[in-house]
Every structure is written in structure tokens, then in C-alpha cells.
Amino acid sequence: MNVSTLDKHFYSTRDGRRLLSLVDMVKPDMYFELHSYSPSSYERMTSPQRMEIEGAPPLVELERGILKGSVSPVLRSILYDTYPNPPELFFMLELPIGVKESEEIAVEILVAGLTSNTRLEFVEYLERNYPEQTLVGKELFERFAKKIGLGGEYP
């Protein structure tokens, strides 16, 4: 049975506990997630009603079907409530299954993130390369974070 990371019960599963244990052990400054999705899920994941339906803001398309957003608000809350120094950056990419070009672009984005020395440096990369999408993502995140009292900054 597949349990979504948006579901708080995921973090009591074996995989969820492993994830939390790994974050606790590594204590990363930046946390990246990479997912894939069926193109038939695009509308649901980018829907303005995603917050009401799934409890997370809509994802924003960067290009070629690559969607970006923050990680599960449940994970962010757990890490902010449990660990004294949660990651400075939370970033998630969703890639459409079967679109080869999106994989190459995602690698470029992840390399930019992994070679950035700070959260701000990575955000500046996003602003340079995806200015409109970054602005929309920031607005969605800030509205969402304010609504539920979520800690941290965008992304």
C-alpha cells in the first residue's frame, strides 16, 4: 500500500521512520526530493484547489512538465518541531514519467542546488532561470505557510 508523504501516517511507516532517521543522522542544510508522476496527474497537482483537496499548495511548472514545490508540510512540521536545526532549504521536483528532456533539466536544477553554498544562492539561481515561476511559487508558499503556521522560508 502506498501512503502519500502528505499523509501524517506516512511518517509512522517503516519508510517514513527511515526518512526521519536519515535526516536526523545526516543533518542536511538542504533537503531535496525527486518524484515522478503520470502525466494524467498534472491537472490535479497544479490545480488551484490542491490545497483544499490534498492539503498542499499547487505545484508550479518550471518547463517541460517539471513541477516544483516544497516538500510535504507534514514533514516540514515534524522537522521544525523535532530537530533543533532543521534544513535551511526544502525543495521538491516532480518529473513527468517518460519525458527524457525533463530528466536532463532536473539534473541541471539539482546540480545547481547541490553546488549552492546557501539557500539564498539556490533561490537566486531559480530567480535567474525561472523568474515568473519562482515568484508564483513564493507567493503560493507564503500564503500557505501563513494559513497553517508553517515554519521556514521559501523554498
Instruction: Tell me the HSE value of 98 on the side-chain side, using a 13 A CA sphere.
Output: 3
pLDDT score at 148: 63
What whole-number distance in Å separates Cα of residue 5 and Cα of residue 101? 26
Residue 155 located in a structural domain: no
Residue 127 located in a structural domain: yes
Question: Which comes out higher in pLDDT, residue 7 or 124?
Answer: 124
Would you state the cell numbers that stand for residue 69, as one nine-digit string? 514545490
Residue 3 located in a structural domain: no
Q: How much of the chain exceeds pLDDT 70, in percent? A: 93
Per the structure, the count of domains in the chain is: 1
Query: What band does 139 get if pLDDT is binned at 50, 70 and 90?
Result: confident
Residue 94 located in a structural domain: yes
Burial 124-155 (b: 16+ CB within 10 A, else e): ebbeeebeebbeebbebbeebbeeeeeebebb
Sign (positive or negative) of CA dihedral 88, 50, 82, 147: positive
Residue 1 located in a structural domain: no
Containing structural domain, residue 40: 8-148
Residue 45 located in a structural domain: yes
Residue 30 located in a structural domain: yes
Residue 31 located in a structural domain: yes
Q: Is the pLDDT of residue 101 over 80?
A: yes
Burial 12-30 (b: 16+ CB within 10 A, else e): eeeebeebbeebeeeeeeb
pTM: 0.86
With H, G, I as helix, E, B as strand and everything else as coil, classify residue 38: coil
The pLDDT tens digits of the residues spanning 18-65 come to 999 999 999 999 999 999 999 999 999 999 898 888 878 899 999 999
Q: Which residues contact 146 (CB under 8 A, 6 or more apart)?
A: none
